[in-house]
A = this chain, B = another copy of it.
Amino acid sequence: MDVLELESFLPYRLYRLADAVSREFSRVYKDRHGLTRPEWRTLAGLGQHGTMTATELGEQSAMHKTKVSRAVAELERCRWLIRTPDEKDRRVEHLTLTKAGLAAYREMVPLAKAFERELLARLSTGERAAIVNGVAALEAALGRSKKEL
């Protein structure tokens, strides 16, 4: 009989791995500042780029627009970002971190980098290359097939 071994099935392994890593990493932003993942990504996007619109945020961090909308609303509520309406197109809002938001971002960046570094430190040089290149290759493959639509 034809059987599927779940433990070796790539989609499952990938998901479980990402979930475990993400769960561990969430301590950096959740325990420390009570952020959700969408909120953390929003913070990260704005910290990295300075000013972005909600749509750009969604594209950069692969979030559904409702997630972005809610994350932005929450960060605005706790005064970590402000919105400024676009002059030309009144549908658009430009989002920028406040001092407080930027401070939080600056505090988290080293923690994030340390997390990644320590994660990769558990691997050999070859294994590090494998995971990084493997992920890049799959990303590229998915990107390609998306364009074919």
Looking at A122, A129, A138, the one whose CB has the most chain B CB atoms below 10 A away is A138
A19 within 8 A of B: yes
A127 within 8 A of B: yes
Within 8 A of B (CB), among A1-43: 1-7, 9-22, 25, 41
A66 within 8 A of B: no
Nearest B residue to A130 via CB reads B134
Nearest B residue to A4 via CB reads B109
Q: How far is the CB of A90 from chain B (nearest CB, A)?
A: 29
Are A18 and B20 interface neighbours, CB within 8 A?
no
Q: How far is the CB of A102 from chain B (nearest CB, A)?
A: 9
Number of copies: 2
Q: How far is the CB of A8 from chain B (nearest CB, A)?
A: 9
Mark contacts of A68-95 with chain B using CB atoms, 8 A cut-off: 1 yes-contact digit, 0 otherwise: 0000000000000000000000000000
Q: How far is the CB of A114 from chain B (nearest CB, A)?
A: 11
Q: How far is the CB of A144 from chain B (nearest CB, A)?
A: 7
Are B130 and A133 interface neighbours, CB within 8 A?
yes
Q: How far is the CA of A18 from the CA of B25 in the complex (A)?
A: 16
A131 within 8 A of B: yes
The 5 A-B residue pairs with the shortest CB-CB distance, nearest first, are A131-B134, A130-B134, A18-B18, A127-B137, A122-B141
